[in-house]
Amino acid sequence: MTPRILVPCTLALLAALGCTSITQIRTVEPAPQDASGHPDILAPPSTDTAAFLDCRTGSPAKGENLRIIEDYGNYVLGFAEFDDQGWGYKHDQQLAVINDRVDAELSNPALAGTDFLVLVFIHGWHHNAHDNDCNVQEFRQMVRIAAEGTEAARREHLLVKPRRVVGIYVGWRGESVAAPALRYLTVADRRDAAERVAKGSVRRLFANLHERQIRAQRVRVDRMRTVIIGHSFGGLVAYSALSQGVLNDLTLETSESPRLCDLWDPRHAAITASPVWPDALILINPAFEASRFEEFDRLTKGLTPCVPPAQKSNRLVVPSVIVVTAANDIWTGKIFTAGRTASTVFEGYDRTNAEATQKERASNLHAIGFVKSYQTHHLDLTPNETPPRAVARLVPGAASTLNAQSPVWVVVASEAVVNGHNGFLYTRPKDKNPSPYLANWLLDMYDMDCNAAPGMLDCADAAAGN
């Protein structure tokens, strides 16, 4: 077949299969302020969860929101998209727009007494940055919940200064074939795309945020904090792009400035190690093999187990890395393990002894949350409490190997908190209004609420601190 015939035939086949285009979705740059000096403020997003509980993949729609920056007054969202090679579109146009907005926020004289929380969310398989994508709609809710939660924490004197929330949604072509049946055959292709995204311009996005946080902390130590959240293959993107730096920071901290069990130990005054960046790396139902996580587990288990004093400390010790996996997630559970079993049949393992062989094989065939030796906590709703809330407790036996101030947690969530692969913000129950239990739990963790993990967080008198 000649190229003259092959090319149009190939294009016709791709069109018939419903292949999605590799194009920038968020193209509208922020409009200049009007004559009165007020920015273009959007109405708050609807909190009607019924509109997106089925978690549909985004698609082009007439009149859809194509803004790079969504300004809701009390909080802001930005969109950064990357193609299948991991490059930013139009020479990183969106990154430049986000940089300008973050710089404007940090330099705004009216916000001189305000701290900032930057939330970055990276979506997974099947999703994108279209306005009607359920992950876009849920991230809006996550940022809204964070903004309202931090304000509530300030009213309750858990935070001294106001904290403004800036959200950044990282989009990539999570759906390459839109045909209903064939779309599930793209898992290997989209995993490879996620790997390329992790090695591409998203690293520039992270570097830009890190630079701005360092500058902000020269003004005030808590002026800016960054939390990066990855779901499914988005967890693969986040982990692949950031894990080496996080491991470097954690190794430095634990070797040169160990996490002391007694927070009133005078040696704390001598701690000079660089803080870990980002402030939190959160992986929700991450879709990659647990063998990549082994060094984090060894680092965690290598710390001396201890129980901090339940007393007057005003320092909150929270983990730098949190992996949350739904106990009933079949995609990163049984289906993932079946796929890995088939695709790794010719791979070998350490034959030093039977125990090493078994552990390495289990880690290679399972996602992180399904390796029992990695699990540190169970996350479930409190019984007999109205309204219920999510609480993390040590798994049986973990207290003997896990430092109470461990920087790495692997949390298995009940289906009441995280339901299946996609039910991470709202659990999508059929018979009642859903609640964002996981988002509220994470807020409790980082807003100094010791109830989030009884016996693990030493912050009894936190109101006097931050």
Give tens-digit pLDDT for 229-260. 999 999 999 999 999 999 998 887 666 555 55
Q: Is 353 left (phi over 0), alpha (psi -120 to 50) or beta?
A: beta
154-166 mean pLDDT: 87
Taking alpha carbons only, the member of 380, 282, 375 closest to residue 322 is: 282
Q: CA-CA distance, 400 to 462, in Å (whole number)?
A: 27
Distance CA 210, CA 204 (A): 10
Instruction: Give the residues across from 226 on adjacent strands.
Output: 118
Tracing tokens 């030493």 back to the chain, one arrives at: 458
- Separation of alpha carbons 137 and 53, rounded Å: 10
Residue 353 has pLDDT above 80, yes or no: yes
pLDDT of residue 259: 55
pLDDT band at residue 14 using 50, 70 and 90 as cut-offs: very low
Residue 317 pLDDT greater than 90, yes or no: no
Pair 38, 70: CB distance under 8 Å = no
Ordered by start, the domain boundaries in the chain are: 19-30+39-259+274-464
User: Could you give the CA distance from residue 298 to residue 457 in angstroms, rounded to a whole number?
Assistant: 21
Q: Is the pLDDT of residue 352 over 70?
A: yes
| Tokens 């992790």 belong to residue | 198
Q: How far is CA 105 from CA 53, 153, 161, 367, in A?
A: 33, 21, 16, 39
In the numeric block, the tokens 């949604």 are attached to: 169
CB 250 within 8 A of CB 299: yes
DSSP 289-318: BGGGGHHHHHHHHTSPP----SSS------
pLDDT at 305: 56
Residue 11, pLDDT score? 38
* Distance of alpha carbon 378 from alpha carbon 370, whole angstroms: 12
Q: Which residues, at least 6 apart from 7, have a Cβ–Cβ distance to it below 8 Å?
A: none
Q: What is the mean pLDDT of residues 333-361?
A: 92
- Reported as half-sphere exposure (CB side, CA atoms, 13 A), residue 29 has a value of 12
- Beta strands in 217-329, from DSSP E residues, in sequence order: 224-231, 280-284, 321-326
pLDDT at 351: 86
Query: pLDDT tens, 28-82?
Result: 999 876 444 556 889 888 887 776 777 888 888 999 999 999 999 999 999 999 9
Taking alpha carbons only, the member of 121, 131, 119 closest to residue 56 is 131
In order of 211, 382, 431, the CA distances from 385 in angstroms are 43, 6, 19
Q: Please give the C-alpha separations between residue 93 and each of 28, 98, 451, in angstroms, as whole numbers.
A: 11, 9, 43
DSSP line for 377-428: EEEEEPTT-SS--EEEEEPTTGGGTS-TT-SEEEEEEPTTTSBTTTBTSS--
Share of the chain above pLDDT 70, in %: 81
Helix and strand element counts for the chain (H, E):
10, 10
Strands 280-284 and 224-231: parallel
